[in-house]
Chain A
Amino acid sequence: MPDMNALLAGIPAELTRLVLALIGLMVFIGLNGLALVWVERKVAGHVQRRPGPFEVGPFGLIQPIVDAIKLIGKQLVTPSGSDKFLFWLAPLLSFLPIFLLFIPIPFSKNLVGLDTNLGLLLILAFAGLNVLALCLAGWGQNNKWGLLGAGRAVAQSVAYEIPLLLSVLAISFQTGSLSLTEITAKQGAWPWQWNIIVQPLAFFLYFICAVAETNRAPFDLPEAESELTAGFHTEYSGMGFGLFFLAEYANMIVVCSVATVLFLGGWQGPFEPGWWWFLIKMYVLLVVIIWFRWTYPRVRFDQLLNLNWKWLLPLSMVNLVATAFAVKLFA
Protein backbone atom coordinates (compact mmCIF):
# COMPACT_ATOMS: atom_id res chain seq x y z
CA MET A 1 0.00 0.00 0.00
CA PRO A 2 1.50 3.35 -0.98
CA ASP A 3 2.18 5.87 1.68
CA MET A 4 -0.76 8.27 1.74
CA ASN A 5 1.24 11.05 3.31
CA ALA A 6 3.84 10.91 0.56
CA LEU A 7 1.07 10.95 -2.07
CA LEU A 8 -0.63 13.93 -0.48
CA ALA A 9 2.66 15.76 -0.10
CA GLY A 10 3.17 15.30 -3.82
CA ILE A 11 0.13 17.47 -4.61
CA PRO A 12 1.24 21.05 -5.07
CA ALA A 13 -0.25 23.47 -2.58
CA GLU A 14 -1.34 25.77 -5.38
CA LEU A 15 -3.42 22.99 -6.96
CA THR A 16 -5.13 22.23 -3.65
CA ARG A 17 -5.93 25.89 -3.29
CA LEU A 18 -7.39 26.05 -6.80
CA VAL A 19 -9.56 22.98 -6.30
CA LEU A 20 -10.81 24.31 -2.98
CA ALA A 21 -11.45 27.69 -4.58
CA LEU A 22 -13.44 26.08 -7.40
CA ILE A 23 -15.58 24.10 -4.97
CA GLY A 24 -16.11 27.22 -2.87
CA LEU A 25 -17.03 29.19 -5.97
CA MET A 26 -19.56 26.59 -7.07
CA VAL A 27 -21.31 27.02 -3.74
CA PHE A 28 -20.93 30.79 -3.92
CA ILE A 29 -22.37 31.03 -7.44
CA GLY A 30 -25.20 28.61 -6.71
CA LEU A 31 -26.27 30.34 -3.52
CA ASN A 32 -25.92 33.85 -4.92
CA GLY A 33 -27.77 32.83 -8.08
CA LEU A 34 -30.70 31.69 -5.94
CA ALA A 35 -30.48 34.79 -3.77
CA LEU A 36 -30.43 37.06 -6.82
CA VAL A 37 -33.50 35.41 -8.34
CA TRP A 38 -35.28 36.13 -5.09
CA VAL A 39 -33.99 39.71 -4.89
CA GLU A 40 -34.91 40.33 -8.52
CA ARG A 41 -38.47 39.16 -8.02
CA LYS A 42 -38.86 41.01 -4.75
CA VAL A 43 -37.58 44.26 -6.25
CA ALA A 44 -39.80 43.78 -9.30
CA GLY A 45 -42.76 43.23 -7.01
CA HIS A 46 -42.16 46.19 -4.76
CA VAL A 47 -41.46 48.55 -7.67
CA GLN A 48 -44.86 47.55 -9.01
CA ARG A 49 -46.44 47.92 -5.54
CA ARG A 50 -47.06 44.17 -5.09
CA PRO A 51 -45.38 41.77 -2.66
CA GLY A 52 -43.41 39.50 -5.02
CA PRO A 53 -43.04 35.86 -4.00
CA PHE A 54 -44.31 35.37 -0.46
CA GLU A 55 -46.13 32.04 -0.30
CA VAL A 56 -43.26 29.53 -0.36
CA GLY A 57 -41.28 29.79 2.85
CA PRO A 58 -40.86 32.91 4.99
CA PHE A 59 -40.94 35.97 2.68
CA GLY A 60 -40.91 33.54 -0.25
CA LEU A 61 -37.28 32.65 0.41
CA ILE A 62 -37.76 29.03 -0.65
CA GLN A 63 -39.28 30.09 -3.99
CA PRO A 64 -36.02 30.09 -6.03
CA ILE A 65 -35.11 26.64 -4.70
CA VAL A 66 -38.50 25.30 -5.71
CA ASP A 67 -38.08 26.93 -9.13
CA ALA A 68 -34.67 25.34 -9.50
CA ILE A 69 -36.07 21.90 -8.64
CA LYS A 70 -38.80 22.43 -11.21
CA LEU A 71 -36.22 23.36 -13.86
CA ILE A 72 -34.08 20.32 -13.06
CA GLY A 73 -37.10 18.06 -13.27
CA LYS A 74 -38.17 19.21 -16.71
CA GLN A 75 -37.61 17.27 -19.90
CA LEU A 76 -34.73 18.32 -22.10
CA VAL A 77 -36.09 18.75 -25.61
CA THR A 78 -33.83 18.97 -28.64
CA PRO A 79 -35.67 20.63 -31.52
CA SER A 80 -35.74 18.78 -34.84
CA GLY A 81 -33.30 20.06 -37.44
CA SER A 82 -31.02 21.49 -34.78
CA ASP A 83 -27.30 20.91 -34.51
CA LYS A 84 -27.39 18.66 -31.45
CA PHE A 85 -23.75 19.02 -30.52
CA LEU A 86 -23.68 22.82 -30.68
CA PHE A 87 -27.13 23.05 -29.13
CA TRP A 88 -26.03 21.27 -25.96
CA LEU A 89 -22.49 22.64 -25.99
CA ALA A 90 -23.74 26.23 -25.81
CA PRO A 91 -25.23 26.24 -22.28
CA LEU A 92 -22.18 24.47 -20.90
CA LEU A 93 -19.90 26.91 -22.69
CA SER A 94 -21.91 29.76 -21.27
CA PHE A 95 -21.76 28.50 -17.70
CA LEU A 96 -18.41 26.78 -17.20
CA PRO A 97 -16.05 29.73 -17.88
CA ILE A 98 -17.82 31.60 -15.08
CA PHE A 99 -15.62 29.81 -12.53
CA LEU A 100 -12.50 31.11 -14.25
CA LEU A 101 -13.84 34.64 -13.97
CA PHE A 102 -14.17 34.35 -10.21
CA ILE A 103 -10.76 32.82 -9.55
CA PRO A 104 -8.68 36.04 -9.49
CA ILE A 105 -11.25 38.11 -7.55
CA PRO A 106 -10.06 38.96 -4.02
CA PHE A 107 -13.05 38.62 -1.74
CA SER A 108 -10.92 39.39 1.26
CA LYS A 109 -7.26 39.81 2.13
CA ASN A 110 -6.41 36.14 1.58
CA LEU A 111 -9.69 34.91 0.17
CA VAL A 112 -8.66 34.69 -3.46
CA GLY A 113 -8.50 31.63 -5.70
CA LEU A 114 -5.43 32.54 -7.68
CA ASP A 115 -3.55 35.73 -6.96
CA THR A 116 -2.12 36.36 -10.39
CA ASN A 117 -0.68 39.62 -11.64
CA LEU A 118 -2.85 39.33 -14.77
CA GLY A 119 -6.14 38.81 -12.95
CA LEU A 120 -7.97 41.59 -14.75
CA LEU A 121 -6.83 40.30 -18.12
CA LEU A 122 -7.98 36.79 -17.22
CA ILE A 123 -11.46 38.06 -16.43
CA LEU A 124 -11.74 40.22 -19.54
CA ALA A 125 -10.45 37.42 -21.78
CA PHE A 126 -12.75 34.69 -20.53
CA ALA A 127 -15.79 36.96 -20.27
CA GLY A 128 -15.72 36.96 -24.07
CA LEU A 129 -16.54 33.26 -24.18
CA ASN A 130 -20.12 33.99 -23.19
CA VAL A 131 -20.70 35.70 -26.55
CA LEU A 132 -19.52 32.58 -28.33
CA ALA A 133 -21.94 30.51 -26.27
CA LEU A 134 -24.86 32.77 -27.16
CA CYS A 135 -23.83 32.68 -30.82
CA LEU A 136 -23.67 28.86 -30.86
CA ALA A 137 -26.98 28.62 -29.01
CA GLY A 138 -28.69 30.83 -31.56
CA TRP A 139 -27.12 29.01 -34.49
CA GLY A 140 -27.55 25.47 -33.22
CA GLN A 141 -31.25 25.58 -32.41
CA ASN A 142 -32.54 26.10 -35.97
CA ASN A 143 -34.95 28.81 -34.91
CA LYS A 144 -35.35 32.25 -36.43
CA TRP A 145 -35.76 33.98 -33.07
CA GLY A 146 -32.68 32.25 -31.77
CA LEU A 147 -30.63 33.30 -34.75
CA LEU A 148 -31.79 36.91 -34.52
CA GLY A 149 -31.03 36.94 -30.81
CA ALA A 150 -27.58 35.50 -31.37
CA GLY A 151 -26.84 38.09 -34.05
CA ARG A 152 -27.84 40.85 -31.68
CA ALA A 153 -25.82 39.33 -28.85
CA VAL A 154 -22.65 39.28 -30.93
CA ALA A 155 -23.03 42.82 -32.27
CA GLN A 156 -23.86 44.14 -28.83
CA SER A 157 -21.15 42.34 -26.88
CA VAL A 158 -18.41 43.10 -29.36
CA ALA A 159 -19.38 46.76 -29.39
CA TYR A 160 -19.66 47.22 -25.64
CA GLU A 161 -16.51 45.30 -24.83
CA ILE A 162 -14.41 48.13 -26.24
CA PRO A 163 -15.47 50.99 -23.95
CA LEU A 164 -15.57 48.48 -21.08
CA LEU A 165 -11.95 47.58 -21.68
CA LEU A 166 -10.91 51.20 -22.12
CA SER A 167 -12.56 52.32 -18.89
CA VAL A 168 -10.95 49.44 -17.00
CA LEU A 169 -7.63 50.27 -18.62
CA ALA A 170 -7.80 53.77 -17.16
CA ILE A 171 -7.73 52.23 -13.68
CA SER A 172 -4.85 50.00 -14.70
CA PHE A 173 -2.89 53.01 -15.98
CA GLN A 174 -3.51 54.80 -12.74
CA THR A 175 -2.57 51.86 -10.55
CA GLY A 176 0.11 50.48 -12.83
CA SER A 177 -1.13 46.94 -12.31
CA LEU A 178 -3.50 44.32 -13.67
CA SER A 179 -3.55 42.43 -10.39
CA LEU A 180 -6.86 42.81 -8.61
CA THR A 181 -5.22 42.34 -5.21
CA GLU A 182 -2.82 45.16 -5.90
CA ILE A 183 -5.55 47.45 -7.22
CA THR A 184 -7.49 46.85 -4.01
CA ALA A 185 -4.43 47.44 -1.88
CA LYS A 186 -3.74 50.81 -3.54
CA GLN A 187 -7.13 52.11 -2.44
CA GLY A 188 -7.93 53.10 1.10
CA ALA A 189 -10.69 52.11 3.42
CA TRP A 190 -12.72 55.30 3.21
CA PRO A 191 -14.89 56.33 0.26
CA TRP A 192 -12.75 59.38 -0.57
CA GLN A 193 -9.77 57.05 -1.04
CA TRP A 194 -11.54 54.90 -3.58
CA ASN A 195 -10.91 55.00 -7.31
CA ILE A 196 -14.45 56.16 -8.01
CA ILE A 197 -13.51 59.63 -6.69
CA VAL A 198 -10.60 59.94 -9.11
CA GLN A 199 -12.31 58.15 -12.01
CA PRO A 200 -16.05 58.88 -11.82
CA LEU A 201 -16.40 58.89 -15.60
CA ALA A 202 -14.65 55.54 -15.92
CA PHE A 203 -17.03 54.08 -13.32
CA PHE A 204 -20.05 55.51 -15.11
CA LEU A 205 -18.90 54.09 -18.45
CA TYR A 206 -17.89 50.77 -16.92
CA PHE A 207 -21.26 50.34 -15.27
CA ILE A 208 -23.25 51.07 -18.44
CA CYS A 209 -21.06 48.69 -20.43
CA ALA A 210 -21.32 46.06 -17.71
CA VAL A 211 -25.12 46.18 -17.88
CA ALA A 212 -24.91 45.84 -21.67
CA GLU A 213 -22.32 43.04 -21.48
CA THR A 214 -24.48 40.96 -19.19
CA ASN A 215 -27.46 41.48 -21.51
CA ARG A 216 -29.52 43.04 -18.77
CA ALA A 217 -32.40 45.43 -19.35
CA PRO A 218 -32.46 48.03 -20.87
CA PHE A 219 -29.89 46.30 -23.08
CA ASP A 220 -31.54 42.87 -23.11
CA LEU A 221 -31.92 42.77 -26.88
CA PRO A 222 -30.60 39.21 -27.31
CA GLU A 223 -33.49 37.97 -25.16
CA ALA A 224 -36.13 40.60 -25.90
CA GLU A 225 -39.17 38.58 -24.78
CA SER A 226 -41.62 40.86 -26.50
CA GLU A 227 -39.89 40.74 -29.89
CA LEU A 228 -38.00 37.44 -30.08
CA THR A 229 -39.99 35.27 -27.62
CA ALA A 230 -36.81 34.46 -25.71
CA GLY A 231 -34.10 35.24 -28.23
CA PHE A 232 -31.08 32.99 -28.09
CA HIS A 233 -32.61 30.58 -25.56
CA THR A 234 -36.01 30.21 -27.24
CA GLU A 235 -35.72 26.44 -27.77
CA TYR A 236 -34.06 25.55 -24.49
CA SER A 237 -36.03 23.76 -21.83
CA GLY A 238 -35.23 22.66 -18.32
CA MET A 239 -31.65 23.00 -17.23
CA GLY A 240 -30.52 24.06 -20.71
CA PHE A 241 -32.35 27.29 -20.04
CA GLY A 242 -31.38 27.05 -16.38
CA LEU A 243 -27.69 27.17 -17.16
CA PHE A 244 -28.07 30.27 -19.34
CA PHE A 245 -30.14 31.82 -16.59
CA LEU A 246 -27.57 31.00 -13.93
CA ALA A 247 -24.76 32.21 -16.20
CA GLU A 248 -26.51 35.56 -16.63
CA TYR A 249 -26.73 36.05 -12.87
CA ALA A 250 -23.18 34.81 -12.38
CA ASN A 251 -21.99 37.29 -15.01
CA MET A 252 -23.81 40.04 -13.15
CA ILE A 253 -22.00 39.02 -9.99
CA VAL A 254 -18.68 39.06 -11.86
CA VAL A 255 -19.10 42.55 -13.30
CA CYS A 256 -20.27 43.90 -9.95
CA SER A 257 -17.36 42.22 -8.16
CA VAL A 258 -14.91 43.73 -10.62
CA ALA A 259 -16.54 47.14 -10.18
CA THR A 260 -16.24 46.72 -6.42
CA VAL A 261 -12.56 45.89 -6.70
CA LEU A 262 -11.67 48.53 -9.26
CA PHE A 263 -13.73 51.47 -8.08
CA LEU A 264 -15.12 50.88 -4.60
CA GLY A 265 -12.09 49.74 -2.64
CA GLY A 266 -12.90 46.01 -2.64
CA TRP A 267 -12.91 44.44 0.80
CA GLN A 268 -11.20 47.44 2.42
CA GLY A 269 -14.47 48.86 3.64
CA PRO A 270 -14.89 51.74 6.02
CA PHE A 271 -13.83 50.83 9.60
CA GLU A 272 -12.93 47.15 9.71
CA PRO A 273 -11.77 45.51 6.44
CA GLY A 274 -13.41 42.20 5.61
CA TRP A 275 -15.23 40.05 3.10
CA TRP A 276 -18.58 41.40 4.28
CA TRP A 277 -17.75 44.83 2.86
CA PHE A 278 -17.03 43.19 -0.46
CA LEU A 279 -20.40 41.43 -0.44
CA ILE A 280 -22.26 44.56 0.67
CA LYS A 281 -20.76 46.70 -2.10
CA MET A 282 -21.32 43.95 -4.64
CA TYR A 283 -24.95 43.57 -3.64
CA VAL A 284 -25.57 47.32 -3.74
CA LEU A 285 -24.39 47.34 -7.36
CA LEU A 286 -26.45 44.24 -8.14
CA VAL A 287 -29.57 45.84 -6.72
CA VAL A 288 -28.90 48.95 -8.83
CA ILE A 289 -28.71 46.77 -11.96
CA ILE A 290 -31.97 45.09 -10.97
CA TRP A 291 -33.45 48.52 -10.29
CA PHE A 292 -32.43 49.56 -13.83
CA ARG A 293 -34.29 46.57 -15.25
CA TRP A 294 -37.56 47.53 -13.62
CA THR A 295 -37.20 51.19 -14.57
CA TYR A 296 -36.04 51.49 -18.17
CA PRO A 297 -37.72 50.26 -21.32
CA ARG A 298 -35.59 48.27 -23.75
CA VAL A 299 -33.56 50.39 -26.18
CA ARG A 300 -33.91 49.96 -29.92
CA PHE A 301 -31.00 48.32 -31.70
CA ASP A 302 -29.85 51.47 -33.49
CA GLN A 303 -30.06 53.38 -30.20
CA LEU A 304 -27.97 50.70 -28.57
CA LEU A 305 -25.19 50.95 -31.13
CA ASN A 306 -25.42 54.74 -31.41
CA LEU A 307 -24.97 55.07 -27.67
CA ASN A 308 -21.92 52.87 -27.80
CA TRP A 309 -20.08 54.15 -30.84
CA LYS A 310 -21.04 57.82 -30.58
CA TRP A 311 -20.85 58.35 -26.83
CA LEU A 312 -19.30 55.61 -24.74
CA LEU A 313 -16.36 54.89 -27.01
CA PRO A 314 -15.22 58.51 -27.52
CA LEU A 315 -15.78 59.29 -23.83
CA SER A 316 -13.75 56.30 -22.69
CA MET A 317 -10.99 57.25 -25.14
CA VAL A 318 -10.92 60.79 -23.78
CA ASN A 319 -10.88 59.43 -20.26
CA LEU A 320 -8.03 57.05 -21.03
CA VAL A 321 -5.92 59.71 -22.72
CA ALA A 322 -6.55 62.16 -19.88
CA THR A 323 -5.60 59.48 -17.34
CA ALA A 324 -2.41 58.72 -19.24
CA PHE A 325 -1.49 62.42 -19.25
CA ALA A 326 -2.29 62.82 -15.58
CA VAL A 327 -0.26 59.75 -14.65
CA LYS A 328 2.70 61.00 -16.67
CA LEU A 329 2.47 64.50 -15.21
CA PHE A 330 1.77 63.84 -11.53
CA ALA A 331 3.01 60.33 -10.80
Chain B
Amino acid sequence: MTSQTFKEAAKAVWSMVVGLKVTGKNFLLPQITVHYPRQVVTNLDTYRGHIELIAKDDNPFAARCILCGQCENNCPSGCITIESVTREIPAEAPKEPAPGEEAKPAPKPKKVKELTQFLLDYNLCSLCGLCVQNCPVDSLRFSRDVYLAGFSRGEFEFELLEMLQKRGKK
Protein backbone atom coordinates (compact mmCIF):
# COMPACT_ATOMS: atom_id res chain seq x y z
CA MET B 1 0.00 0.00 0.00
CA THR B 2 1.55 3.19 -1.12
CA SER B 3 0.21 6.69 -1.47
CA GLN B 4 -0.01 5.89 -5.18
CA THR B 5 -2.74 3.33 -4.49
CA PHE B 6 -4.80 5.81 -2.52
CA LYS B 7 -4.35 8.44 -5.17
CA GLU B 8 -5.63 6.02 -7.78
CA ALA B 9 -8.57 5.07 -5.58
CA ALA B 10 -9.49 8.71 -5.05
CA LYS B 11 -9.26 9.26 -8.78
CA ALA B 12 -11.52 6.26 -9.37
CA VAL B 13 -14.10 7.53 -6.89
CA TRP B 14 -14.00 10.95 -8.55
CA SER B 15 -14.57 9.32 -11.94
CA MET B 16 -17.76 7.81 -10.52
CA VAL B 17 -18.94 11.29 -9.57
CA VAL B 18 -18.13 12.52 -13.06
CA GLY B 19 -20.20 9.65 -14.48
CA LEU B 20 -23.15 10.62 -12.32
CA LYS B 21 -22.78 14.21 -13.47
CA VAL B 22 -22.96 13.15 -17.12
CA THR B 23 -26.13 11.09 -16.72
CA GLY B 24 -27.62 13.65 -14.33
CA LYS B 25 -27.13 16.39 -16.87
CA ASN B 26 -28.69 14.33 -19.63
CA PHE B 27 -31.61 13.53 -17.33
CA LEU B 28 -32.41 17.22 -17.08
CA LEU B 29 -31.85 18.09 -20.74
CA PRO B 30 -34.85 18.05 -23.09
CA GLN B 31 -35.78 14.85 -24.87
CA ILE B 32 -34.58 14.29 -28.39
CA THR B 33 -37.02 11.61 -29.47
CA VAL B 34 -40.29 12.23 -31.29
CA HIS B 35 -43.70 10.91 -30.18
CA TYR B 36 -44.40 9.43 -33.60
CA PRO B 37 -48.10 9.41 -34.28
CA ARG B 38 -48.53 12.89 -32.77
CA GLN B 39 -45.27 14.43 -33.95
CA VAL B 40 -43.26 13.86 -37.08
CA VAL B 41 -39.62 14.49 -37.81
CA THR B 42 -38.71 17.51 -39.92
CA ASN B 43 -34.95 17.19 -40.51
CA LEU B 44 -35.31 15.18 -43.70
CA ASP B 45 -32.82 16.96 -45.94
CA THR B 46 -30.49 13.99 -46.06
CA TYR B 47 -33.16 11.30 -45.97
CA ARG B 48 -33.05 8.81 -48.82
CA GLY B 49 -36.42 7.21 -49.46
CA HIS B 50 -37.41 5.47 -52.68
CA ILE B 51 -36.59 7.31 -55.90
CA GLU B 52 -39.10 9.57 -57.59
CA LEU B 53 -39.29 11.38 -60.90
CA ILE B 54 -38.75 15.10 -61.22
CA ALA B 55 -41.16 17.07 -63.38
CA LYS B 56 -40.18 19.34 -66.22
CA ASP B 57 -39.85 22.96 -65.26
CA ASP B 58 -42.71 24.02 -67.51
CA ASN B 59 -44.95 20.97 -67.15
CA PRO B 60 -45.66 19.43 -63.77
CA PHE B 61 -47.26 16.37 -65.38
CA ALA B 62 -44.33 15.26 -67.53
CA ALA B 63 -41.04 13.93 -66.32
CA ARG B 64 -37.70 15.30 -67.43
CA CYS B 65 -36.81 11.74 -68.39
CA ILE B 66 -35.43 11.29 -71.91
CA LEU B 67 -35.74 7.51 -71.80
CA CYS B 68 -32.02 6.92 -72.18
CA GLY B 69 -32.33 3.85 -69.96
CA GLN B 70 -29.18 4.60 -67.92
CA CYS B 71 -30.99 4.04 -64.66
CA GLU B 72 -32.47 0.75 -65.79
CA ASN B 73 -29.11 -0.50 -67.05
CA ASN B 74 -27.14 0.65 -64.05
CA CYS B 75 -29.48 -0.64 -61.38
CA PRO B 76 -27.68 -3.51 -59.63
CA SER B 77 -30.92 -4.81 -58.19
CA GLY B 78 -32.84 -4.66 -61.43
CA CYS B 79 -35.76 -2.90 -59.83
CA ILE B 80 -36.41 -0.29 -62.53
CA THR B 81 -38.47 -1.04 -65.63
CA ILE B 82 -39.20 1.69 -68.16
CA GLU B 83 -42.11 1.33 -70.55
CA SER B 84 -42.44 3.64 -73.49
CA VAL B 85 -44.24 4.06 -76.76
CA THR B 86 -42.92 5.58 -79.92
CA ARG B 87 -45.23 8.08 -81.48
CA GLU B 88 -44.85 9.49 -84.95
CA ILE B 89 -45.34 13.17 -85.39
CA PRO B 90 -46.20 13.81 -88.98
CA ALA B 91 -43.79 16.22 -90.56
CA GLU B 92 -44.95 19.49 -92.01
CA ALA B 93 -45.94 19.25 -95.61
CA PRO B 94 -43.12 20.38 -97.87
CA LYS B 95 -43.45 23.81 -99.36
CA GLU B 96 -44.42 24.13 -102.94
CA PRO B 97 -41.17 24.07 -104.86
CA ALA B 98 -40.36 27.33 -106.46
CA PRO B 99 -40.33 27.21 -110.22
CA GLY B 100 -37.13 25.87 -111.58
CA GLU B 101 -36.22 24.00 -108.40
CA GLU B 102 -36.41 20.34 -107.93
CA ALA B 103 -39.12 19.13 -105.60
CA LYS B 104 -37.62 18.01 -102.31
CA PRO B 105 -38.51 14.56 -101.13
CA ALA B 106 -41.20 14.54 -98.47
CA PRO B 107 -39.53 14.60 -95.00
CA LYS B 108 -39.89 11.53 -92.84
CA PRO B 109 -42.24 11.78 -89.88
CA LYS B 110 -40.57 12.58 -86.57
CA LYS B 111 -40.37 9.68 -84.11
CA VAL B 112 -40.81 10.60 -80.45
CA LYS B 113 -40.40 8.19 -77.59
CA GLU B 114 -42.79 8.87 -74.79
CA LEU B 115 -42.66 7.57 -71.24
CA THR B 116 -45.76 5.61 -70.38
CA GLN B 117 -44.68 3.82 -67.20
CA PHE B 118 -41.69 4.09 -64.85
CA LEU B 119 -41.96 0.96 -62.72
CA LEU B 120 -39.99 0.69 -59.48
CA ASP B 121 -40.04 -2.50 -57.46
CA TYR B 122 -39.03 -0.97 -54.13
CA ASN B 123 -38.91 -4.43 -52.54
CA LEU B 124 -35.66 -5.05 -54.41
CA CYS B 125 -34.11 -1.57 -54.23
CA SER B 126 -31.01 -1.25 -52.08
CA LEU B 127 -31.02 2.57 -52.23
CA CYS B 128 -27.51 2.65 -53.72
CA GLY B 129 -28.35 5.77 -55.70
CA LEU B 130 -26.67 4.75 -58.98
CA CYS B 131 -29.80 5.68 -60.91
CA VAL B 132 -29.87 9.16 -59.37
CA GLN B 133 -26.16 9.68 -60.05
CA ASN B 134 -26.30 8.49 -63.63
CA CYS B 135 -29.38 10.33 -64.79
CA PRO B 136 -28.09 12.74 -67.47
CA VAL B 137 -31.03 15.12 -67.12
CA ASP B 138 -31.46 15.03 -63.32
CA SER B 139 -34.84 13.45 -63.60
CA LEU B 140 -34.52 11.28 -60.48
CA ARG B 141 -34.20 12.10 -56.80
CA PHE B 142 -34.77 10.39 -53.47
CA SER B 143 -38.16 10.97 -51.94
CA ARG B 144 -38.45 12.01 -48.28
CA ASP B 145 -41.34 9.80 -47.31
CA VAL B 146 -40.00 8.59 -43.92
CA TYR B 147 -43.26 7.12 -42.75
CA LEU B 148 -43.78 4.86 -45.76
CA ALA B 149 -45.35 1.63 -44.56
CA GLY B 150 -47.50 -1.10 -46.02
CA PHE B 151 -48.98 -4.50 -45.39
CA SER B 152 -47.92 -6.40 -48.51
CA ARG B 153 -45.14 -6.51 -51.07
CA GLY B 154 -47.55 -5.34 -53.73
CA GLU B 155 -47.82 -1.98 -52.01
CA PHE B 156 -44.16 -1.31 -52.73
CA GLU B 157 -44.34 -1.77 -56.48
CA PHE B 158 -44.57 1.84 -57.55
CA GLU B 159 -45.44 3.49 -60.84
CA LEU B 160 -43.38 6.64 -60.59
CA LEU B 161 -44.94 8.51 -63.52
CA GLU B 162 -48.38 8.13 -62.01
CA MET B 163 -47.04 9.36 -58.69
CA LEU B 164 -45.48 12.35 -60.43
CA GLN B 165 -48.77 13.23 -62.06
CA LYS B 166 -50.60 12.91 -58.76
CA ARG B 167 -48.08 15.27 -57.21
CA GLY B 168 -48.57 17.63 -60.15
CA LYS B 169 -52.28 17.82 -59.47
CA LYS B 170 -51.58 19.01 -55.98
Contact = CB atoms under 8 A, between A and B. Distances in A.
Interface string A179-204: 00000000000000000000000000
Contacts of A99: none
Chain B interface, >50% SS class: helix
A48 B16 contact: no
Interface stretch (B26-34, B40-48, B60-68, B139-147): B26-34
Contact of A48 (B9, B26, B30): B26
B20 A295 contact: yes
B87 to A, nearest CB: 56
B76 interface: no
B19 interface: yes
Contacts of A294: 23
Nearest to A296: B19
A56 interface: no
B9 A295 contact: no
Contacts of A295: 19-20, 22-23
B71 to A, nearest CB: 40
B100 interface: no
A49 B24 contact: no
Nearest to B16: A296
Which bracket fits the contact residues of B?
A: 10 to 19
Interface residues of A, number: 14
Nearest to B37: A55
A50 B20 CA distance: 18
A294 B27 CA distance: 10
Contacts of A292: 20
Interface in B32-60: 32-33, 35
Contacts of A24: none
Contact of B32 (A43, A49, A291): A49
A46 interface: yes
A141 B26 CA distance: 40
Contacts of B9: 311
A296 B35 CA distance: 28
Given A291-B20, A295-B19, A295-B22, A50 B27 contact: no
Contacts of B16: 296
A92 interface: no
Given A46-B27, A54-B35, 10 more contacts: A46-B26, A46-B31, A47-B27, A49-B33, A50-B32, A50-B33, A51-B31, A292-B20, A295-B20, A295-B23
27 contacts: A43-B27, A46-B26, A46-B31, A47-B26, A47-B27, A48-B26, A49-B29, A49-B30, A49-B31, A49-B32, A49-B33, A50-B31, A50-B32, A50-B33, A51-B31, A51-B33, A51-B35, A54-B35, A291-B20, A291-B23, A292-B20, A294-B23, A295-B19, A295-B23, A296-B16, A296-B19, A311-B9
Interface of A: 43, 46-51, 54, 291-292, 294-296, 311
Interface of B: 9, 16, 19-20, 22-24, 26-27, 29-33, 35
